[in-house]
């Protein structure tokens, strides 16, 4: 909402310091989005007098003028000098005073005035039209100023263009502040100052009866609680007077003609949107009467709004219909509360006007605006709710002003349908409740005063004295006639409050408390902390373990990232990821774009996109993980499951190359090592990595894929991405990835391990190297050793893996293990160790068909 301070000053007393005003408005709930100075940007444009006017020797439409601009142009002798300016306008004579843009001026349209030659004649400035100054639409000629305009005075000063406009953010609950009057009232309430309309317009001449010319009908009172129509006849449509132009311009509208400008002016002033029809474009019946019907649009009906766009309507849209048109079937002439029609709009030929001042349903207006993408000053007001009680006042004021600026006369009667008159509630405001909610000692008398200033009728409950009246009235004194304990009396006291008709948001006690608090001042409330009993801020075990997950991965060099929850439906196809029937994707009805048409079922595609993003920018070493939800839904389910997953991708080296470290592309075992660390930190036991022989993880390279298990529970998968899949995501490098189900991790996570005694006796180490078929898994060897080694075998560690076709034979590998034997209660003798080791070796050879090297 744009508010001209020059205008506002006429309605309420303003503090002289604008900054104090704006910060007070901020602190009382009317945010000031911007402070816009007007009339700036007209520097170097001054009042000049044309002293000579001669034909341009080489043009039949240009004039060469000599212009006196006072001290703005000085000759070499320091004396004022006349400027020679070439001018194309025809509407002036020598002696006229005009706005002159001097060399160096920048016009509001952005044009910079320079010294120029026009058809060979030097020109040192420009005589301006109103449009060129951005203060009107008249571009037909230069702006001729009154003869008494002082030469040399800056034009902004002369035309009093200097104004400041506040751009106010009006919250949706405050329809009343969508008007100058409402803002004046708000400021009046804040500063405890009277407010009111400044100008009264003369009572217009009356002639004829509107009822003879027009009939009204409302089909649905919910859509239109009130409709009033005035008829003004014999107007002359033309440009508005300057003051009217200034005001509608300051409010942000474009001046159009005197009729439209008046309806805009009253809307800005009162907050009541008005619509003017050219009465004679409506179809008359045989008796010469016109008919207006407010009804639902027919589904499939189309209508051309005054912006020239033809629009499809539906039954939720409310129309203003010319009831006689179409042989009595009716034709839409306006979309109620949103926009008028092209055919019935006021034009230069219009003589008779139907002035509509109505209240339309906010909900319908809001839906219509959004559906048609049509947002207007009118719809913004109807959406919030227009006060049906003031429809008539606004219309009367508009009619008087129309006659003042466009002539004609107003019909003696007003057509007014008000099927469901507004019922105002009486609300109770308890002093004790006010104190409890605000936590501040606001005297009830002050609350009463604030509410009165905002337009409420306030009575001290239990007392007969009404505190109602104008804001200047003294509010009720809650302590008057109170019993002995004034504090207790104040606590027990309450107010009966009838909100004004323009405040549909005030329906409950809490609404009143809010009003009192914001005007009294939130900044005056002394801060405290809740003193509640019996609560503890706790971190659950699950929250703690989730933190452990992040900490472990970061310690291993992975970087946490965040990707979109949205996905492309082709993502999982690229991965050939299969899902069960009850793992469908959640589809968006209104995605922002096709790439975000559903919710992800896997984090992997997002991470792969991030990897590609990095690679395309020359970042080759990538270690990313994300912990977040994926979304899957069953066939006829309303809400999806949202299991959290933990996914990671590794590309390139974990460490940058350095003088003392070689960089090496991360592989399967880097990722596996990271997982080992993670699972260990979570105290997950019996972890196993199962080779995936089938094609159940088709996005992973065959032979480099594993399922991550804890006992029989599957936690997720790990592997190197199939290069063909990686390529689909525009990644040429090798990618290692894993994905774990977070809930499965948390479920497998064990409580803290119990203490085991630190070994007291020395261990004996034996190494062994065995050559086996390369089909024999390392895990198998380890299992056999663990079981064969019995209680004495304390540790098995693989320290070498060796493949050499020439020395070992085809499909053979050599694994070397370091074994540690130890007893908890004694130092082992070499005989004992030898015996155990021999047994282990023979069992190992027998079980695996291997050969000891």
Stretch 417-446 residues interacting with another protein (CB under 8 A): 436-440
Tokens linked to 44: 């170097």
Smallest distance, another protein to C-beta of residue 364, A: 8
Enumerate the β-bridge partners of residue 661.
658
Pairing of strands 63-68, 82-87: antiparallel
Quote the least distance from Cβ 181 to another protein, whole Å: 20
Residue 533: in which H helix or E strand, if any? none
Retrieve residue 77's tokens: 């002798």
Q: Which of 43, 473, 511, 714 binds another protein (CB under 8 A)?
A: 511
Residue 426 belongs to what H/E stretch?
none
Question: In whole angstroms, how close is the CB of 20 to another protein at the nearest point?
Answer: 14
Give the residue among 746, 602, 621, 630 at the shortest CA–CA distance from 678. 746
Using the minimum distance from each CB to another protein, give the nearer residue, 97 or 430.
430
Site string for another protein, 561-580 (x = CB under 8 A): xxxxxx--------------
Stretch that binds another protein, among 217-225, 268-276, 459-467, 585-593 (CB under 8 A): 585-593
Taking the least distance from each CB to another protein, the nearer of 77 and 523 is 523
| Range 390-419, binding another protein (CB under 8 A) | none
Task: Let me know how long the chain is.
Answer: 853
Q: Does residue 581 touch another protein according to CB under 8 A?
A: no
Q: Is 473 helix (H, G, I), strand (E, B) or coil?
A: coil
* Least distance CB 809 / another protein (angstroms): 39
Residues 6+ apart with CB under 8 A from 225: 359, 361, 388, 418, 419, 420, 422
The answer to whether residues 97 and 118 touch, using CB atoms and an 8 Å cutoff, is: no
Q: Which is nearer to another protein, 474 or 559 (CB)?
A: 559
Instruction: Supply the minimum distance, in Å, between the C-beta of residue 111 and another protein.
Output: 29
At closest approach, how far in Å is the CB of 557 from another protein? 5
Cβ atoms of 599 and 586 closer than 8 Å = yes
Burial group, residue 58, by CB count within 10 angstroms (0-12, 13-18, 19+): exposed
- Give the residue with the Cβ less far from another protein, 201 or 564: 564
Q: Which stretch binds another protein (CB under 8 A): 178-186, 282-290, 655-663, 842-850?
A: 655-663
Provide the β-strand partners of residue 293. Answer: 217, 321
Q: Are the beta carbons of 628 and 644 closer than 8 angstroms?
A: yes
Residue 182 CA: distances (Å) to CA of 21, 185, 188, 277, 691:
16, 5, 10, 27, 74
Q: Dihedral sign, CA of 295, 300, 304, 308? A: positive
Query: Of 145, 395, 586, 819, which lies in the binding site for another protein, with binding defined by CB under 8 A?
Result: 586
The answer to whether 610 touches 737, Cβ cutoff 8 Å, is no
What is the rounded distance in angstroms from the CA atom of residue 5 to the CA atom of residue 135? Answer: 17
Tokens of residue 458, six digits: 């306030």
Cβ proximity to another protein: between 452 and 552 the closer is 552
* CB nearer another protein, residue 199 or residue 587: 587
> Quick one: which of 93, 202, 580, 658 contacts another protein (CB under 8 A)?
658
The rounded distance, in Å, linking the Cα atoms of 6 and 26 is 20
- Residues linked to residue 766 through DSSP beta bridges, in sequence order: 819
Write down the least CB distance from residue 625 to another protein, Å: 8
Using the minimum distance from each CB to another protein, give the nearer residue, 148 or 590. 590
- Cα 577 to the chain's mean position, in Å? 36
Stretch that binds another protein, among 23-31, 133-141, 730-738, 753-761 (CB under 8 A): 23-31
Q: 10 Å Cβ neighbour count for 619?
A: 12
Site residues for another protein, 360-379, by CB under 8 A, read 362-363, 366-367, 370
Which of residues 590, 662, 775, 830 is near another protein by CB under 8 A? 590
Of residues 101-160, which lie at the interface with another protein (CB under 8 A)? Answer: none
Bridge-based pairing of strands 622-629 and 644-651 is antiparallel
CB of 627 to another protein, least distance (A): 8
Q: How far is the CB of 26 from another protein (least distance, A)?
A: 5
Q: How many residues bind another protein (CB under 8 A)?
A: 103
Residue number, 265 or 520, with CB nearest to another protein: 520
Task: Please say whether the beta carbons of 786 and 793 come within 8 A.
Answer: yes
Please give the span between the terminal C-alpha atoms of the chain, in angstroms, as a whole number. Answer: 90
- The stretch near another protein (CB under 8 A) out of 142-150, 165-173, 570-578, 841-849 is 165-173
Find the part of the chain contacting another protein (CB under 8 A) among 37-45, 101-109, 218-226, 503-511: 503-511
CB of 40 to another protein, least distance (A): 16
Determine the Cα–Cα distance for residues 99 and 447; give it in Å rounded to an integer. 53
Q: Least distance to another protein from the beta carbon of 186, Å?
A: 12
* Cβ proximity of 392 and 359 under 8 Å: no
Question: Any long-range contacts for 390-394 (C-beta under 8 Å, 24+ apart)?
Answer: 390/270, 390/271, 390/272, 390/501, 390/502, 391/226, 391/228, 391/272, 391/357, 391/358, 391/359, 391/416, 392/228, 392/357, 392/416, 393/270, 394/266, 394/270, 394/272, 394/274, 394/357
Residue with tokens 């460490």: 655
**Residue from 77, 659, 693, 756 that binds another protein (CB under 8 A)?**
659
- Residues 452-491, mask of contacts with another protein (x by CB under 8 A): ----------------------------------------
Q: Which is nearer to another protein, 287 or 589 (CB)?
A: 589
Q: Which is nearer to another protein, 414 or 586 (CB)?
A: 586
Hey, which residues between 205 and 234 contact another protein (CB under 8 A)? Answer: none
Shortest distance in whole angstroms from residue 118 CB to another protein: 42
Identity of the residue, 410 or 516, whose beta carbon is nearer to another protein in the bound complex: 516
Q: How far is the CB of 431 from another protein (least distance, A)?
A: 14
Binding of residue 26 to another protein (CB under 8 A):
yes
- Alpha carbon 89 to chain centroid, angstroms: 48
Interface map 520-549 toward another protein (x if CB under 8 A) = --xx-xxxxxxxxxxxxxxxx--x---x--
Minimal distance, residue 644 CB to another protein, in Å = 10
Nearer to another protein, 125 or 499 (CB): 499
CB of 831 to another protein, least distance (A): 36
Query: Nearer Cβ to another protein, position 148 or 636?
Result: 636
Given a contact cutoff of 8 angstroms between Cβ atoms, the answer to whether 268 and 180 are in contact is: yes
Residues β-bridged to residue 457: 498
Stretch that binds another protein, among 37-45, 167-175, 343-351, 491-499 (CB under 8 A): 167-175
Write the interaction track for another protein spanning residues 603-632; mark x where CB under 8 A is met and - where it is not. ----x-xxx-xx--x-x-xxxxx--xx-x-
**Sign of the four-CA dihedral 340, 341, 346, 347:** positive
Does 743 bind another protein (CB under 8 A)? Our answer is: no
640 binds another protein per the rule CB under 8 A: yes
CB of 618 to another protein, least distance (A): 10
What is the Cα–Cα distance from 428 to 442, expressed in whole angstroms?
16
Q: Element (H or E) spanning 156, and its range?
A: helix 155-158
Residue 126, SS3 per DSSP: strand
What 3-state DSSP class applies to 46? strand
> Is the backbone of residue 152 left (phi > 0), alpha (psi -120 to 50) or beta?
left
Q: How far is CA 78 from the centre of its chain?
A: 59
Is 660 a residue that touches another protein (CB under 8 A)?
A: yes
d(CA 70, CA 48): 8
């Amino acid at each position: 909402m744009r508010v001209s301070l020059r205008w506002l000053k006429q309605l309420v007393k303003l503090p002289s310091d604008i900054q104090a005003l704006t910060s007070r408005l901020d602190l009382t709930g009317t945010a000031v989005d911007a402070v816009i100075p007007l009339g700036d940007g007209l520097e170097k444009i001054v009042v000049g007098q044309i002293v000579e006017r001669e034909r341009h020797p080489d043009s039949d439409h240009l004039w060469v003028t000599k212009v006196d601009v006072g001290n703005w142009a000085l000759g070499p002798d320091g004396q004022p000098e006349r400027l020679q300016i070439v001018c194309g306008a025809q509407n002036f004579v020598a002696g006229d005073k005009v706005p002159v843009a001097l060399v160096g001026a920048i016009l509001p349209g952005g044009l910079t005035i320079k010294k120029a030659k026009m058809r060979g004649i030097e020109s040192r400035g420009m005589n301006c039209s109103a449009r060129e100054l951005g203060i009107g639409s008249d571009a037909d000629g230069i702006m001729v100023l009154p003869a008494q305009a002082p030469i040399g005075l800056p034009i902004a000063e002369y035309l009093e263009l200097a104004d400041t406009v506040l751009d106010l953010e009006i919250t949706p609950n405050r329809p009343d502040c969508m008007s100058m009057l409402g803002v004046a009232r708000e400021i009046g309430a804040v500063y405890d100052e009277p407010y009111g309309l400044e100008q009264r317009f003369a009572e217009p001449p009356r002639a004829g009866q509107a009822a003879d010319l027009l009939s009204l009908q409302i089909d649905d009172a919910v859509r239109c609680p009130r409709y009033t129509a005035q008829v003004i006849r014999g107007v002359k449509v033309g440009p508005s007077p300057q003051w009217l132009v200034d005001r509608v311009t300051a409010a942000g509208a474009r001046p159009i003609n005197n009729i439209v400008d008046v309806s805009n002016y009253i809307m800005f002033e009162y907050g009541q949107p008005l619509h003017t029809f050219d009465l004679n474009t409506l179809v008359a019946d045989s008796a010469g009467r016109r008919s207006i019907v407010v009804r639902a649009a027919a589904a499939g009906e189309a209508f051309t709004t005054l912006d020239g766009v033809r629009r499809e309507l539906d039954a939720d849209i409310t129309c203003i219909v010319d009831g006689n048109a179409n042989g009595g079937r009716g034709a839409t002439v306006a979309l109620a509360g949103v926009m008028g029609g092209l055919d019935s709009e006021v034009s230069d030929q219009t003589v008779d006007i139907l002035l509509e001042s109505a209240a339309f349903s906010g909900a319908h207006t809001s839906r219509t605006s959004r559906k048609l993408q049509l947002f207007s000053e009118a719809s913004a007001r109807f959406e919030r709710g227009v006060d049906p009680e003031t429809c008539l006042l606004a219309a009367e004021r508009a009619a008087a002003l129309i006659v003042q600026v466009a002539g004609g006369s107003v019909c003696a009667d007003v057509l007014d349908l008000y099927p469901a008159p507004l019922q105002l509630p009486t609300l109770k405001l308890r002093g004790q409740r006010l104190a409890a909610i605000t936590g501040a000692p606001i005297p009830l008398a002050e609350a009463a005063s604030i509410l009165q200033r905002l337009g409420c009728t306030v009575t001290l409950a239990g007392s007969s004295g009404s505190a109602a009246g104008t804001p200047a009235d003294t509010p009720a004194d809650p302590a008057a006639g109170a019993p002995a304990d004034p504090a207790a009396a104040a606590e027990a006291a309450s107010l009966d409050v009838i909100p004004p008709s323009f405040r549909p948001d005030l329906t409950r006690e809490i609404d009143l408390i809010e009003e009192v608090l914001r005007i009294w001042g939130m900044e005056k409330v002394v801060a405290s902390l809740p003193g509640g009993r019996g609560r503890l801020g706790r971190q659950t075990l699950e929250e703690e373990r989730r933190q452990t997950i992040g900490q472990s991965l970061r310690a291993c060099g992975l970087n946490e990232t965040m990707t979109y929850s949205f996905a492309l439906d082709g993502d999982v196809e690229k991965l050939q990821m299969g899902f069960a029937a009850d793992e469908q994707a959640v589809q968006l009805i209104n995605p922002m774009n096709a790439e975000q048409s559903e919710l992800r079922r896997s984090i992997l595609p997002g991470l792969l996109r991030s990897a590609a993003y990095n690679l395309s920018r020359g970042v080759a070493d990538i270690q990313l993980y994300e912990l977040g939800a994926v979304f899957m839904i069953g066939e006829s389910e309303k809400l999806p499951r949202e299991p959290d997953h933990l996914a990671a991708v590794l590309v390139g080296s974990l460490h940058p190359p350095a003088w003392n470290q070689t960089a090496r592309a991360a592989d399967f075992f880097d990722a596996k090592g990271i997982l080992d660390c993670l699972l260990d930190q979570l105290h997950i036991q019996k972890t196993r990595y199962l080779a995936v022989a089938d094609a159940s993880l088709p996005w992973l390279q065959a032979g480099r894929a594993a399922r991550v298990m804890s006992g029989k529970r599957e936690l997720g998968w790990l592997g190197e991405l199939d290069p063909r899949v990686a390529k689909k995501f525009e990644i040429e490098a090798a990618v290692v990835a894993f994905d774990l189900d977070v809930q499965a991790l948390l479920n497998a996570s064990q409580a803290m391990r119990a203490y085991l005694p630190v070994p007291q006796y020395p261990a004996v180490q034996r190494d062994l190297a065995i050559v086996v078929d390369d089909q024999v898994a390392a895990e198998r060897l380890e299992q056999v050793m663990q079981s064969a080694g019995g209680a004495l075998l304390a540790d098995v560690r693989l320290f070498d893996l060796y493949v050499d076709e020439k020395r070992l034979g085809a499909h053979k590998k050599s694994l070397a293990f370091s074994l540690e034997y130890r007893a908890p209660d004694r130092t082992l003798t070499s005989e004992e160790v030898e015996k155990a080791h021999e047994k282990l070796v023979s069992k190992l050879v027998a079980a695996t068909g291997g050969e000891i090297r």
